[in-house]
Amino acid sequence: MIDKGMLITVSGPSGSGKGTVLGELVKKRDDVKISVSMTTRQNRNGEIDGINYYFVSKEYFEKKINEGSMLEYAQYAGNYYGTPKEPVDEMLKAGKAVILEIDVQGADKIKEIYPDVIRIFIMPPSASVLERRLRGRNTEDEETINHRLVIAKGEMKMASEYDFIVINDKLDSAVKDVETIIDAERLKASRNKIFLSEVINNV
């Protein structure tokens, strides 16, 4: 029995495929949960409210900030994105590995609040693959794509400060890499202090 859940942030540029990696991971693992973020951006084709994001108005988002209900939030490409606090705390209490899929600014804020957070950065295998994936979505205009490429470069410059890098070339192996990180973290002595003292005290 591990002491409690663990918090993980997963960052990576738009087009790194982090959403796909995490979607596959939660299908395989019952002990891993993804926090659903709130955003003021428009939903893209196929995105479902309450599953991909909670899509809300700017006024509603600002009300939640003022009420202190957001664990963190950031502005990205003109929209708010943030993590509602209460569900995260509940999943951690239930012993889950809780993943926050957030940008690098958000990951920095989480590190201040939860110093033992595990930070993973998902990288595309190359710059050309990143650009192809962004264009392949066909959901954004040229100006938005170029803006996202500039942001992506800035984000990837931060990758070396993360705890782990996962390269999303082949989906299966990227998913396996994230599982390996979670499994190794669960085995850390520092995450098993209650178990250790229970056994030792019963000898």
Q: Which residues bind ligand 5GP (CB under 6 A)?
A: 14, 37, 41, 72-74, 76, 81-83, 101-103, 105-106
Q: At what angle do helices 18-28 and 171-186 cross, to 10 degrees?
A: 60
Q: Which one, 75 or 197, has the nearer CB to ligand 5GP?
A: 75
- How many alpha carbons lie under 13 Å from residue 114 in its C-beta half-sphere? 21
Between CA 167 and CA 11 the distance in angstroms is 12
Q: Which one, 72 or 185, has the nearer CB to ligand 5GP?
A: 72
Between CA 54 and CA 202 the distance in angstroms is 47
**Nearest distance in Å: CB 45, ligand 5GP:** 13
Q: How many CB atoms within 10 Å of residue 150?
A: 9
**Nearest distance in Å: CB 189, ligand 5GP:** 31
Q: At what angle do helices 142-156 and 127-136 cross, to 10 degrees?
A: 140
Q: Which one, 96 or 148, has the nearer CB to ligand 5GP?
A: 148
**Nearest distance in Å: CB 97, ligand 5GP:** 17
**Nearest distance in Å: CB 37, ligand 5GP:** 3
**Nearest distance in Å: CB 92, ligand 5GP:** 16
Q: Which one, 79 or 180, has the nearer CB to ligand 5GP?
A: 79
Q: Which residue is nearest to ligand 5GP (CB)?
A: 106
Tokens 């951006």 map to which residue? 41
Q: Which one, 104 or 175, has the nearer CB to ligand 5GP?
A: 104
**Nearest distance in Å: CB 199, ligand 5GP:** 39
Sign of CA dihedral 82, 87, 92, 93: positive
Q: Which one, 20 or 105, has the nearer CB to ligand 5GP?
A: 105
Amino acid 169 reads: D
Structure token digits, residue 125: 């295998």
Cβ-Cβ contacts under 8 Å for 173 (sequence gap 6 or more): none
